[in-house]
A and B are shown apart, each in its own frame.
Chain A
Amino acid sequence: KAGVTQTPRYLIKTRGQQVTLSCSPISGHRSVSWYQQTPGQGLQFLFEYFSETQRNKGNFPGRFSGRQFSNSRSEMNVSTLELGDSALYLCASSWEGGVNQPQHFGDGTRLSIL
């Protein structure tokens, strides 16, 4: 069974640009969550999608948005990039979400802002 796939693996952008990251969950998983990871900060929750609906949202500005498609694939978009957006962005999937289910993480997209 294929794991969670994130593309691209690496991305370099400049301030003010926008970026779209992609996540394909494990087959059959309907919940997709996104996290931002920076050194010393752990994983910061961005949002969770379930059946094409945003079900949870973290404390990030509106520049961060996402969506989920009918096949459960998800995209995350960051507009007007800032230097502080440089981070590893991780996507995780699970059957139906819920905190008692293991989250299966992808290898992440490392975003660098110049």
Chain B
Amino acid sequence: GQSLEQPSEVTAVEGAIVQINCTYQTSGFYGLSWYQQHDGGAPTFLSYNGLDGLEETGRFSSFLSRSDSYGYLLLQELQMKDSASYFCAVGTMTTDSWGKLQFGAGTQVVVTP
């Protein structure tokens, strides 16, 4: 079957580093995306990993290991504005399904002073 797991909540202090893990089990895996959503707001795209390795975008980095069906989002130099929900999303492509995104349940990141 298909599954996508990420922690429900992570708390850290300003300036710290947080890693949000995402493990998946799916057929037709194509890539892994990350989205951020503030309370009451729309999800916004953060990063995409189609190949194994690390992608860096400013304070945020994302990693993928296809062989381990695992990825993570790394948030460095945490700021109060980083308090939000973070979703990993598995992209799949099969012969009968073009480009589907399956989202995880989300990780609530709480940044404290």
Contacts and interface: CB of A to CB of B under 8 A. Distances in A.
A104 B97 contact: no
A56 interface: yes
A56 B43 CA distance: 20
A13 B92 CA distance: 35
Contacts of B35: 103
B93 A104 contact: no
B60 interface: no
Given A42-B106, A45-B103, A99 B91 contact: yes
- Chain B at the A interface: mostly helix, strand, loop or mixed? strand
B33 A99 contact: yes
A95 B101 CA distance: 15
Given A99-B92, A99-B93, A100-B30, A105 B42 contact: yes
Contacts of A16: none
Interface in A73-114: 90, 92, 97-100, 102-108
Interface of A: 4, 33, 35, 40-45, 48, 55-56, 58, 90, 92, 97-100, 102-108
6 contacts: A44-B103, A90-B42, A98-B99, A99-B92, A99-B93, A102-B33
